[in-house]
Chain A
């Protein structure tokens, strides 16, 4: 529709400000989304949860030396974290499933201790795997 008031539609500085604000906001959300997406990160990270609570989150790629994490509880265990993975080196639980699992080194893998309810998960490192079965 043609109107005579087209002068009112001329972009002014306020319009530019709105455009800039929208661009900034959208850009911010865009980058926030991609940065928060763990699988997009190129750092291998170990996330340790005990009875549903996250107790440790360690960026393995940035480790300069091996790190030992001790979980206290009914059974308790000692976890060794290194730049290339995670391993339960000792546990006081009867079944020893977590020790038997051995060392994990790829994002998506996990070590589980059922009696102590500990889960050690590896995330990040640009994994294209959604779930590990077995």
Chain B
């Protein structure tokens, strides 16, 4: 009888512990021109999330194009200056990705983006002459980084918006590790970091939004200690006076919004900065070049492409991981 009591008590106490082991802390914040949700599990969840939020705010104050006192705004206003080591490293990384993607990702597109006024209160369609003239300011050759000293050619400016959130997710991964957070998931507006596992058995289930149906997902991937970044033109756009719809990602080669056969590009890898830069670059490239680029760099990342023809194309590493969605109209195909 006593044994029975002992066993009952032990089982009961075990149940009461389930609540402690699953303690979770979540915060939503508006930063870097998007809404962010940070969740961590375990004893250090709150400390980890709060440290991550402090880092996001710090990075925004350094890297923002809309905060006049940021290092990037000061650099753009003055044309040259000394920046922090961290900002210099990120500028160098951006130059590297521009070179690797043959300019499909290019932070020097900033003057053209400003002319379009996309994501501002007053978007407009610039004239062809204006775009042609501004395109002369676009290109990595206009930026010189030497240590922490940065110089821009006259009239040029940079925008780290295509890489800053990815970098922030890398920093959050490091901060979670420093704080002993081993399970969590972070969503920084199109940028996801899956830290560890959701529980003992499963990773984090990340749904990729269906670009043509806001009520549905196109696919689900399960991630652990990975980053995923999606780019697409389907949510942010404006309609000009003549009825033409212009989406928000500008092709650095033409100066016009991308006219891609792709509707959504998701990059999955172990480096958030890289995933962020590549998601924009491969969206700009279009399907054929994006697949060719992946084939040349298949050891660096995995890829999910959704095209206007109703296909979801994914790389072989995701076989057995990527799930189709019940009732989906998409055709699912592995890229070979």
A23's partner among B1, B8, B190, B237 (CB-CB below 8 A) is: B8
B residues near A30, Cβ cutoff 8 Å = 15-16, 18-19
Distance, CA A134 to CA B18, complexed state (A): 33
Q: Pick from B19, B213, B229 the residue with the most CB of A within 10 Å.
A: B19
**Tally of chain A residues near chain B (CB < 8 A):** 41
A-contacting residues of B (Cβ < 8 Å)? 1-2, 5, 8-9, 12-13, 15-16, 18-19, 22, 28-30, 33-35, 37, 119-122, 185, 187, 189-190, 192, 198, 204-209, 211, 213-217, 220, 228-230, 232, 235-238, 264, 266
Q: Contact at B230–A133, with CB atoms within 8 Å?
A: yes
Knowing A104-B214, A130-B205, A131-B204, the reply to whether A23 touches B19 (Cβ < 8 A) is no
Q: Pick from A23, A52, A85, A96 the residue with the most CB of B within 10 Å.
A: A23
A residues near B122, Cβ cutoff 8 Å = 94
Inter-chain contact total with CB atoms closer than 8 Å:
125
Knowing A29-B19, A97-B236, A102-B215, the reply to whether A131 touches B9 (Cβ < 8 A) is no
B207's partner among A22, A23, A129 (CB-CB below 8 A) is: A129
Q: Contact at A131–B192, with CB atoms within 8 Å?
A: yes
Residue in chain B with minimal CB distance to A84: B215
Secondary structure type dominating chain A contacts: mixed
Residue in chain B with minimal CB distance to A105: B215
Residue in chain A with minimal CB distance to B211: A134
Q: Pick from A11, A105, A108, A133 the residue with the most CB of B within 10 Å.
A: A133
Please give the distance in Å from A114's CB to the nearest CB on chain B.
7
Q: List 24 A-B contacts (CB under 8 A).
A: A11-B5, A22-B12, A23-B12, A25-B12, A26-B12, A26-B13, A27-B12, A29-B15, A95-B121, A96-B238, A101-B214, A101-B235, A102-B213, A104-B215, A106-B207, A112-B35, A128-B205, A131-B187, A133-B187, A133-B190, A133-B192, A133-B209, A133-B229, A134-B209
Asked if A103 CB lies within 8 Å of chain B CBs, one says: yes
B residues near A134, Cβ cutoff 8 Å = 190, 208-209, 211, 230, 232, 235, 264, 266
Asked if A7 CB lies within 8 Å of chain B CBs, one says: no
Q: Contact at A85–B230, with CB atoms within 8 Å?
A: no
Residue in chain A with minimal CB distance to B265: A134
Q: Contact at B19–A32, with CB atoms within 8 Å?
A: yes
Distance, CA A105 to CA B207, complexed state (A): 13
Closest 9 A-B residue pairs measured CB to CB?
Answer: A134-B209, A102-B214, A26-B12, A94-B121, A105-B215, A26-B16, A33-B19, A134-B230, A129-B207
Asked if A1 CB lies within 8 Å of chain B CBs, one says: no
B residues near A22, Cβ cutoff 8 Å = 9, 12-13
Residue in chain A with minimal CB distance to B37: A131
Asked if A65 CB lies within 8 Å of chain B CBs, one says: no
Residue in chain A with minimal CB distance to B221: A133
Distance, CA A23 to CA B37, complexed state (A): 36
B residues near A52, Cβ cutoff 8 Å = 28-30
B residues near A106, Cβ cutoff 8 Å = 207, 215-217
A residues near B264, Cβ cutoff 8 Å = 134
B238's partner among A23, A95, A117 (CB-CB below 8 A) is: A95
Residue in chain A with minimal CB distance to B239: A96
Q: Contact at B217–A132, with CB atoms within 8 Å?
A: yes
Distance, CA A90 to CA B215, complexed state (A): 18
A85's partner among B1, B8, B215, B217 (CB-CB below 8 A) is: B215
